[in-house]
Structure 1
């Protein structure tokens, strides 16, 4: 038995290894086993009488530690570490442990380590021990090797386990994130990591796994590819391509084209082919002409195929993640203040969502690590860009800030151009169709030659375009249903309660009356804040006390029925016609003190407005006038289109109008 000195003192070793904790230290001994060509590494806990942990054993079936190389392994630790790390961190997974210096990490959780190692030399197996104490890391004891018939491998026993905060679940999770990619890499070689009697199962972090086979017909080359998508970041292992030869041995690895995108799309791609048996992965001044390299057609083919499929796998993930990210932006107040009740503001928000989704999918790093003020600045820059149409300028800014490859620049430019055109096209289409709907309604109301009637024409068009009376409404009933059916649907919208048809009864003489339009307005929190009831009258009718009383009857039914009531729900009733008489004028004059135009009645959060068709047309034209000018849409075009149609044609063609709102609620 000999005592050997190490060239670095105990304090120096501990200083060099201060980054290690129990989990990372134990992983070093596991890596040492795999580095020694082990196919199985076992980690077992030694339990004390109180079922606590008194020690730890790591056992592998690798080639052991040759006593002739012991000084290299233990004595010159920093030289050994430096040499191996160059190999470990570049393009190979064959050497992962910190090797020399990693063998001393046991001091983080144990007071003593004892290696029992068996190695083969010239056809003979030898066995000996190495012993180290945590208080004297600058020396080790080794015994004389003895001939043995036992198989090669190394067992390290750690005595006096010292980690009071040790948690087995956290330990297991750590080892999954540390070794999952490596076990998958060597799955066909049946590599195993067994923790306390149970083989590690990394399915909990394997979000998606796909196997594909590609053929390069020109040279009849076959590639078997395994795509692994992880739901958590792996420890110190980037997203990589692993190139494997026909003997299931990794030849080379490198970062994927989607590595370090900042999008948390963690992945590993294993590419197996016979062409990697003899392949030049790195540039070499002494190139061998008959050996394939990265400039070969086969290599370019498989990388193109793998990249394409990897991006397809990433797309749904990115879309889902972007939704979550956009929600967090809105929660943080990064979006400009927009009125969700306004269709144009809603469209503006949707366009901003689409732009962020587009840029995020191409360059997630733009959004990585931003604090709330930075998020606000970036999002509002995007909003201003959309409103101004200066998307080309935004592209130039991004291109100048980020170091992008040519393909990435082209991809982002195309996506932004698509977003720009999509935004403009969608805006023009929405505004155009709304203006067309107003122009069509004008024809039905004002053009007597069309002989438009209330039920077949006015009613049908308003049912489709009830946005005229406000945004974010949901149509409850239109024309046919009476108050009992209206209440049944209202209860469903208000509280989610489903009642069978005919089961809801109202005790009122006017319960059979039928409202032309009954709609409710929901806020973002899902609560109903406003309900509207619209009574439409043919343009030939002059509105008077009879028509107003009809709306008051609706008012009274609603007012008396408690089930129509909800927390702070405002009720708005509209009576709409071409003109009204002096009686209506008197009602509006009496309500003038409330300061609202067209208001005729106001009691208990319930209001009745009497509006003329000309008022409605004027309001809509004012709302869209600035957009008409900006997009150079001429109102005369829509009037001309409508003037050449019959009343039936106008209502029939509305089915293709993008401004149409959803149909009435059905239970």
Structure 2
């Protein structure tokens, strides 16, 4: 049994911003497993009739923790060895090394039993122990050679407090895991990446409302883009993610569809060899080709235009097919439209088209303000001045050609 000391004190670890609740704490260990190349994460626990946990562990089939680099992985803090990993940076949540201490949120000690492949292919297994009251020290014990086994790590928690079986088996915990890991599981579905809770697979598909895969050939480069619309807010959202070899994130960029408050929760993941040697730079000057590529590359700019067109099309489809009908139903319930059904039908179509073109115009929660606006629209329609509505809207927002034409068609019909 060997005792090792990390390069920081227990007090400093506790003050560094550890997870604030059990859900965030447990997600650290799940991410650590995926960071290690795992495709299976098992959350297993046993409890008595009162829900008190008798045993609780999180296991994975990843590469394990190489004992030769233990001082780099467990010995450093806020400077984790994983930052240089070839794995995908955008899901490496434990890069600063705080994840291993997350257990202190709900347990007094934590044990890792890890199996890894040595230089000669021999499988080696050993145990790591950290105690809540002595976080800067970790103990290594039980080194052995194993056969008929596989690599991976089992993290078990002892002397548990403020955590029960009811919390781990409840819908709230499952919803949190779906929100936090659903996007990752979806992107890695071909690898069959899964999370299990007491042997039951986590079903995350309910948080995905729409997906589409689009392929682009731009210059000499091929790009595969996967658009996802989520049914609710998720851990990572409203970004274009640019991925190179092994889906390693090279860059990310905010989409321009974040500020309309219409519940258009989306992400776009773009995979291409183009991003194998791509590095964003602070200034907007081209770099020499032999040193890589940056955001000034013509193919990157063309790709952004194509991606923005894709998301814009998806947003319009979402608003027209779902959100506009919800708005009309809400207005009907609030008594926004006039009493005459014949007048209301034409006015509803106009309101729907305006909402599709520029949602923010109709997003006030003040009933009187909305009634006034809809009333003015109605006056313009009944006085045969509907054509002026386009001018009014364009004074506060830029309309696309197709939006302008659709509005004019609706006014003519109304």
TM > 0.5 fold call: yes
Aligned pair in 2 of structure 1 residues 387, 103: CA closer, same or farther (>3 Å)?
A: farther
Normalized against structure 2, the TM-score is what? Answer: 0.77
CA–CA distance in 2 between the matches of 1:253 and 1:187? 22
CA–CA distance in 2 between the matches of 1:84 and 1:249? 13
CA–CA distance in 2 between the matches of 1:415 and 1:15? 55
Higher RCO, 1 vs 2 (CA within 8 Å, ≥6 residues apart): 2
Which residues in structure 2 correspond to 1:191-206 (within 5 Å)?
A: 191-206=193-208
Normalized against structure 1, the TM-score is what? Answer: 0.51
Which residues in structure 2 correspond to 1:23-422 (within 5 Å)?
A: 23-48=23-48, 53-67=53-67, 69-71=69-71, 73-74=73-74, 77=77, 79-80=78-79, 92-97=89-94, 99-119=96-116, 122-123=119-120, 126-134=124-132, 136-144=133-141, 146-149=143-146, 151-162=150-161, 163-164=163-164, 165-168=166-169, 169-216=171-218, 219=220, 221-235=221-235, 237-245=236-244, 247-282=246-281, 287-289=287-289, 291-319=292-320, 320-332=322-334, 335=336, 339-341=338-340, 343-344=342-343, 347-348=346-347, 350-360=349-359, 364=360, 372-373=365-366, 376-377=368-369, 380-381=372-373, 383-384=375-376, 387=379, 389=388, 392=391, 395-396=394-395, 398=396, 409=398, 411=400, 417-418=404-405, 421-422=408-409
CA contact (8 A) 2:89 2:248 kept: no
Aligned pair in 2 of structure 1 residues 111, 306: CA closer, same or farther (>3 Å)?
A: same
* Structure-2 residue corresponding to 1:538: none
CA RMSD after TM alignment: 4.0
CA–CA distance in 2 between the matches of 1:76 and 1:245? 28
* Cα distance, 1:64 vs structure 2: 3.3
Aligned residue pairs total 395
Residues 441-484 of structure 1 deviation map (CA, whole Å, 9 limit, x = unaligned): xxxxxxxxxxxxxxxxxxxxxxxxxxxxxxxxxxxxxxxxxxxx
5+ long unaligned stretches in structure 1? 400-408, 431-667
* Cα distance, 1:250 vs structure 2: 4.5
Aligned pair in 2 of structure 1 residues 146, 260: CA closer, same or farther (>3 Å)?
A: farther
> Helix, strand or coil: the match of 2:269?
strand
CA contact (8 A) 2:210 2:230 kept: yes
Structure 1 consecutive aligned stretches of length 4 or more whose deviation exceeds 6 Å? none
Residues 137-181 of structure 1 deviation map (CA, whole Å, 9 limit, x = unaligned): 534331257352464432210124442451523322221111111
* Cα distance, 1:381 vs structure 2: 4.3
5+ long unaligned stretches in structure 2? 381-387
* Structure-2 residue corresponding to 1:587: none
Which residues in structure 2 correspond to 1:254-653 (within 5 Å)?
A: 254-282=253-281, 287-289=287-289, 291-319=292-320, 320-332=322-334, 335=336, 339-341=338-340, 343-344=342-343, 347-348=346-347, 350-360=349-359, 364=360, 372-373=365-366, 376-377=368-369, 380-381=372-373, 383-384=375-376, 387=379, 389=388, 392=391, 395-396=394-395, 398=396, 409=398, 411=400, 417-418=404-405, 421-422=408-409, 425-426=411-412
Aligned pair in 2 of structure 1 residues 30, 303: CA closer, same or farther (>3 Å)?
A: same
Greater Rg by CA: 1
Residues 384-407 of structure 1 deviation map (CA, whole Å, 9 limit, x = unaligned): 4775747656545x46xxxxxxxx
Residues 236-265 of structure 1 deviation map (CA, whole Å, 9 limit, x = unaligned): x01333334465554443333434542222
